[in-house]
């Protein structure tokens, strides 16, 4: 198997009339998905003259349509990048500058947004028209015959410290390697009903999408609004008989803290997986008491190694203040923990988690410098070229030889499950007219992004309004503190330690 389309083809044969994906407005069967995707592909191949490996962006509200667009692009032997339709134009333009997409798939509703990003008429595909385009199977077959498993499937953009997002390029082979592991390990099959939380621009959604395609399961795309209202969320899970979720811990923590679980439980739920940030045992224990028979698994991994590289099946009692392990490497994945001398750690020594295997990204698209920094020769192997990915996460082994996550070695944070480079927020803040100086500190206790700033004329509201045009919402400061002057350390840099200390008062 060299192309993830085999998953869709097999399921369309085995379960043609079964619902594959559903949102609050529409649903699509496996055979319907295959046909719609082939129609879109036929339209794409017309516009690209059947050229392979062309970048195509998708600007759509989170919906079944997104999946259809992704598969259409894949049938055209190209690769896709979902754009967050709620992200400000300035950030989408940065992504566009790096990716230089040839085409955009969107809807009539979002057409003005696509045009204002600079796409001209012959670059825009309206999905409502494309799904009924006539299918040219010969063209599709010819395009796919030259596609190999190390060609890209998708590119997802993550926060970049200098303000420019980085495009993590993932190939078919890596996704196949991951999906085979995840479906075998968690026994997903056609009876699995996923309740999808992850946005499609976030790689946790890879599990939902491709496990569904492989096994003939069904994914229900949960309307984002429901995550605000726990009572309605549980009602939804029960109404759709959701039995499997793979959510960011923030969503599980919010539900646990709301105390909903002592009043009402998701009665069909048997598998609860999470990934994206630290899951505290305090809230996990609330879930475990509410649903004692469910399977709980802590998954770990950055986008650069295709979603997940380590996992821990929760198999014993844990106290509220204990750290939850990230456990052990997935099948066909190796984790090396390197100390500052680039040697493998011994015992419980702290080191950087590095990954080796098929799961590794092809690199950051159109960004050789950043790629060279993060994807490096395995220092333990001087004999032949072998890349490892340096995650920047510091970890250690506990006495059971389980991996324990400790902290970052740089200025990356996890906020509400989103991976953010503090530098990207600072770059945006400092770019505002009349902003004299500024610094971002993350308050881990309160889970708040705090902006300290210095300006004669700007006030908090003006700063926030200005930043909304530059950054997606989850990157905006939650608290602003205006200072007459930034504290400086001996090296003449902003004294982050003093600023962080001031938050504790």
Binding residues for other proteins, per CB under 8 A?
224-225, 227-232, 254, 258-260, 263, 416, 460-461, 464-465, 468, 473-474, 478
Determine how β-strand 351-357 pairs with β-strand 271-274: unpaired
Residue with smaller CB distance to other proteins, 232 or 390: 232
Question: Given the complex with other proteins, which of 459 and 501 has the nearer CB atom?
Answer: 459
- In the complex with other proteins, the residue whose CB is nearer, 259 or 346, is 259
Contacts 24+ apart (CB under 8 A), 452-461: 452/481, 452/482, 452/483, 452/486, 452/499, 453/429, 453/480, 453/481, 453/482, 453/483, 454/482, 454/483, 454/484, 454/485, 454/486, 455/482, 458/432, 458/434
| Pair 181, 331: CB distance under 8 Å | yes
- The dihedral region occupied by 468, where left means phi > 0, alpha psi between -120 and 50, and beta the remainder, is alpha
Beta strand spans in 208-287 (E): 218-221, 244-247, 271-274
**Residue 377 CB: number of other CB atoms within 10 A?**
12
The smaller minimum CB distance to other proteins, of residues 198 and 310, is found at 198
Task: Give the count of alpha carbons within 13 A of 463, CB side only.
Answer: 30
Closer of 263 and 289 to other proteins (Cβ): 263
Residues listed for the chain: 505
Handedness of CA 355, 356, 357, 361 (dihedral sign): positive
Identity of the residue, 411 or 474, whose beta carbon is nearer to other proteins in the bound complex:
474
Are residues 67 and 40 in contact, defined by beta-carbon separation less than 8 angstroms? no
* C-beta separation of 198 from 246 below 8 A: yes
452: enclosing H helix or E strand: strand 448-454
Check if the beta carbon of residue 139 is closer than 8 Å to that of residue 75. no
Q: Whole-angstrom Cα distance, residue 472 to residue 254?
A: 21
- Where in 184-330 does DSSP place strands (E)? 193-196, 218-221, 244-247, 271-274, 295-300, 310-313, 328-329
Which residue, 145 or 457, is less far from other proteins as judged by CB?
457
Q: Choose among 5, 374, 415: nearest CA to 167.
A: 374
Q: How far is the CB of 165 from other proteins (least distance, A)?
A: 20
Are the beta carbons of 413 and 422 closer than 8 angstroms? yes
For residues 319 and 284, is the Cβ–Cβ distance under 8 A?
no
Least distance (Å) from other proteins to the CB of residue 229?
6
Of 289 and 473, the one with the shorter C-beta distance to other proteins is 473
- Asked whether 394 and 351 are in contact (CB, 8 A), the reply is yes
State the nearest-atom distance from the C-beta of 258 to other proteins, in Å: 4
Q: How far is the CB of 95 from other proteins (least distance, A)?
A: 21
Least Å distance between CB 248 and other proteins? Answer: 12
- Of 229 and 315, nearer to other proteins (C-beta) is 229
Calpha distance 286→253 (Å, rounded): 9
Smallest gap from residue 196 Cβ to other proteins (A) = 15
Identity of the residue, 90 or 465, whose beta carbon is nearer to other proteins in the bound complex: 465
Nearer to other proteins, 88 or 487 (CB): 88
User: Closest distance between other proteins and the C-beta of residue 66, in Å?
Assistant: 18
């Amino acid at each position: 198997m060299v192309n993830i389309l085999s998953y869709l083809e097999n399921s369309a044969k085995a379960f043609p009339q079964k619902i594959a994906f559903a949102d609050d407005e529409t649903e699509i069967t496996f055979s319907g998905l295959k046909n719609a995707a082939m129609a879109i592909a036929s339209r794409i191949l017309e516009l690209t003259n059947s050229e392979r490996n062309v970048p195509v962006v998708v600007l759509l509200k989170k919906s079944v349509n997104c999946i259809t667009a992704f598969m259409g692009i894949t049938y055209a032997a190209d690769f896709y990048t979902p754009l967050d339709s709620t992200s400000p134009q300035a950030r989408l333009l940065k992504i566009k500058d790096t990716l230089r997409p040839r085409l955009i798939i969107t809807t009539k509703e979002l057409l003005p947004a696509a045009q204002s990003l600079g796409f001209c008429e012959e670059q825009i595909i309206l999905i409502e028209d494309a799904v009924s385009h006539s299918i040219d199977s010969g063209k599709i077959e010819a395009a796919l015959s030259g596609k190999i498993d190390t060609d890209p499937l998708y590119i997802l953009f993550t926060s970049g410290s200098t303000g420019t997002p980085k495009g993590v390029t993932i190939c078919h082979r890596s996704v196949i390697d991951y999906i085979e592991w995840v479906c075998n390990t968690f026994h997903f099959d056609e009876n699995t009903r996923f309740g999808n939380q992850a946005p499609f621009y976030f790689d946790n959604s890879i599990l939902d999408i491709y496990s569904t395609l492989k096994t003939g399961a069904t994914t229900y795309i949960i309307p984002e609004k429901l995550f605000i209202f726990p009572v309605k969320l549980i009602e939804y899970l029960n109404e759709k008989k959701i039995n499997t979720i793979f959510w960011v811990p923030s969503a599980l923590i919010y539900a646990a803290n709301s105390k909903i679980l002592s009043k009402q439980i998701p009665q069909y739920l048997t598998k609860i997986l999470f990934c994206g940030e630290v899951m505290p045992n305090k809230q996990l224990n609330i879930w475990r008491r509410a649903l004692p028979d469910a399977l709980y698994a802590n998954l770990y991994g950055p986008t650069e190694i295709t979603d997940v590289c380590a996992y821990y099946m929760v198999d014993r009692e844990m106290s509220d203040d204990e750290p939850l392990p990230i456990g052990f490497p997935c099948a066909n994945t190796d984790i090396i923990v390197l100390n500052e001398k680039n040697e493998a750690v011994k015992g419980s020594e702290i080191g950087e988690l590095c990954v080796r295997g098929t799961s590794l990204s092809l690199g950051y698209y159109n960004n050789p410098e950043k790629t060279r920094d993060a994807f490096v020769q395995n220092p333990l192997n001087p004999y032949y070229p072998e890349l490892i990915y340096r995650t920047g996460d510091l970890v250690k082994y506990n006495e059971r030889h389980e991996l324990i996550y400790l902290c970052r070695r740089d200025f990356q944070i996890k906020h509400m499950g989103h991976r953010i480079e503090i530098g990207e927020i600072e770059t945006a803040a400092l770019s505002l007219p009349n902003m004299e100086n500024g610094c971002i500190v993350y308050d881990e206790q309160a889970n708040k992004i705090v902006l300290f700033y210095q300006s004669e004329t700007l006030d908090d509201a003006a700063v926030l309004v200005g930043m909304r045009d530059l950054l997606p919402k989850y990157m905006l400061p939650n608290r602003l503190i205006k200072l007459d002057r930034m504290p400086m350390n001996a090296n003449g840099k902003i004294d982050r330690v003093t600023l962080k200390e001031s938050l504790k008062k």
